[in-house]
Structure formats: C-alpha cells, structure tokens
Amino acid sequence: MLGSFGTSLNIEGIKNNMAKKTIIANWKNHPESLAQAQEILDFTNDYLDSLGDFRELSLVFCPPFVFMEEVAKILQMSHFEHEAFLGAQDIAAEDKTALTGEISGPMLKRLGVDYVIIGHSERRWKLGESDEVVNHKLKTAIENGLTPVVCIGEKVRDGGFGKFIEDQVLKTFKGLGPDQIKRCLIAYEPVWAISTNPGAKPDTPDSSLESVNIIRDVLIGNWKLEIRNLPRVLYGGSVSSKNAADFLNRKEFSGVLVGGASVNKEEFVKILEITSKIK
C-alpha cells in the first residue's frame, strides 16, 4: 500500500493520464476536530469502495497541518491507496531560515505530502502574501519535489482583469524554467467566486476559460512553453454538486479545487459521483 503512495512516479502517471480528473479538497481551517475529519474520510472511503476498480479519479486532500499526520495514515490504509494523495495548504518560503509558525518543505515531504497549494487568494489577499513570497514558496515547493497547485485569479471581473491575470502569472512564475512550470498544476480561482467572499457566485465554464486562455498565452509567450507542456488547469470557486459537471465536462479542465463543499461529506461524495460519470 505504501508503495503507491508518495512516489513521484505515481504522480507522473496521473499527470500523463489526461482523462483522469483530479479533485482537490481544500479543507482550509476545518473541520473542528480530528473525529470530524475522520468521518469525512470514512464516508469518502466507503464511496470509493463502492466504485470497485474504477481508477479515473484522483483525489488530493489538503487538511490543516494539525490533522496531517493522521490523514496521512488513513490515506495509506484504505481504499484510498490508489487514488488519494496528501496535499498541504501552504509551505514555508525557505527551508533553512528560521520562520516562526511555518512548516518547511522537508517536513512536508517526511509526512508523505505530494502536493502543495501555492498562492491561495485567502493567503494573498487576507493574509497579505505578496507575489514575491508566493514566488519563493513556489520555488521551494519545486526544490522539495512537491507538485505545486498554483492559484491564479483576479479579484474583480472588471475591464482590467486580463492585465491583472497576466501580471500575476508573470510575477508568480518569475525565474522558473519551462521544465519547472510544466510540473505545476494551475488552479484558476477567481477571488469573487470563492464561496466565503461576500456576494460570491461561481464562474461559468465559458467565462473561466477566457481567463485560462490568458494564463496559457502568457506561459506560451514568455516561457515558450509548447502546448503539450502547458500545466494542467483546475477550476476553483464555489464548486458544488450543482456545477461540478459543467467544469469537469470541459476537456480544458483537468479537475476542480473544492473548498467549502469538501468538508461536507455528503456533498463531497456527490461531486466524486459526478466525476466518476464524466466521459
């Protein structure tokens, strides 16, 4: 069981399988107790069990740091073994500098973490994380052999949103080579669509693909990335069982990043059920 968990070979396999959809559960600072976290995982595990040999779904759980060790154990001991990976919500910008309160890349690796969310809008806009810090974290994640899930998204959908996205992409990926960029996942997450923001409503696939095209054009234009090497893109922002299929049915989206709905076990399993039916 341990063999299939935490090996870069396995992740590469998933990356190369374009049909496989990735669902990332960003638990943020929830749930309140380990018992509740276990309930979500047990419920999800029972659902995966019911799918039998189905392997077209890849799950990444990003719990708060306090639950990580326990979640890692659960992911190694159950039906999760083939389809679930451990992700972190953040990483210290430097491995060696003393940084009170931070968790370093080598610590994450030792816990069995494979993915790390970089530049989430709550960190950028609520906690004041600058593009420069996001860029450092991205480089540190790559140096530690983690797969970065790089969040990109405009704050408002106004006339300048294209320029905003272009600027954010340039600053976030600054100094990285094409080989490093192609190893990332990009989560397009318009800030105004994140469920906890006032007046939030999900984006639509057509409108979010306009932004995805801008992201791809910047990567092609500035890093000369070939189309086949472009990072896979996920959508995030108020994903629920009502709209998941709209995004998952589009070949441009390799999956979804789910926040609020990922700590509601019934709703999360509904999203997985929808994913399992995508052709």
Q: Which is nearer to ligand PGA, 148 or 260 (CB)?
A: 260
User: Contact at 8 Å (CB) between 253 and 213?
Assistant: no
User: Contact at 8 Å (CB) between 145 and 137?
Assistant: no
**Minimum distance between the CB of residue 172 and ligand PGA, rounded to whole angstroms?**
16
Tokens of 236: 């995030």
User: Residues 25, 239, 248, 272: which binds ligand PGA (CB under 6 A)?
Assistant: 239
Q: Is the dihedral of CA 53, 54, 60, 61 positive or negative?
A: negative
User: Contact at 8 Å (CB) between 67 and 25?
Assistant: no
Q: Which is nearer to ligand PGA, 60 or 225 (CB)?
A: 60
- Mark whether 266 is an active-site residue: no
Instruction: Identify which range of 84-92, 224-232, 254-262, 269-277 contacts ligand PGA by CB under 6 A.
Output: 254-262
Q: Is 258 in the site for ligand PGA (CB under 6 A)?
A: yes
- If residue 221 lies in a helix (H) or strand (E), which one and from where to where? helix 205-223
Instruction: Enumerate residues 24-83 that contact ligand PGA by CB under 6 A.
Output: 26
Instruction: Identify which range of 131-139, 172-180, 222-230, 259-267 contacts ligand PGA by CB under 6 A.
Output: 259-267
Q: Which is nearer to ligand PGA, 150 or 261 (CB)?
A: 261
User: Residues 150, 219, 260, 268: which binds ligand PGA (CB under 6 A)?
Assistant: 260
By beta carbon distance, the residue nearest ligand PGA is 259
DSSP type of residue 120: -
Instruction: Enumerate residues 155-214 that contact ligand PGA by CB under 6 A.
Output: 189, 194-196
Distance of CA 243 to the CA centre of its chain: 18
Adjacent-strand bridge partners of 187: 151, 234
Q: Is 257 in the site for ligand PGA (CB under 6 A)?
A: yes
**Cα dihedral 108→11→93→98 (10° resolution):** 20
- The Cα–Cα gap between 103 and 91 comes to 6
Q: Is 105 in the site for ligand PGA (CB under 6 A)?
A: no
Q: Is 11 in the site for ligand PGA (CB under 6 A)?
A: no
User: Residues 63, 231, 236, 255: which binds ligand PGA (CB under 6 A)?
Assistant: 236
User: Contact at 8 Å (CB) between 256 and 244?
Assistant: yes
Q: Is 237 in the site for ligand PGA (CB under 6 A)?
A: yes
Q: Which is nearer to ligand PGA, 59 or 225 (CB)?
A: 59
- Mark whether 189 is an active-site residue: yes
Q: Which is nearer to ligand PGA, 26 or 58 (CB)?
A: 26
Q: How many CB atoms lie within 10 A of CB 109?
A: 14
Q: How many CB atoms lie within 10 A of CB 250?
A: 17
- The Cα–Cα gap between 73 and 206 comes to 39
Active site residues: 120, 189
Site residues (CB under 6 A) for ligand PGA? 26, 189, 194-196, 236-239, 257-261
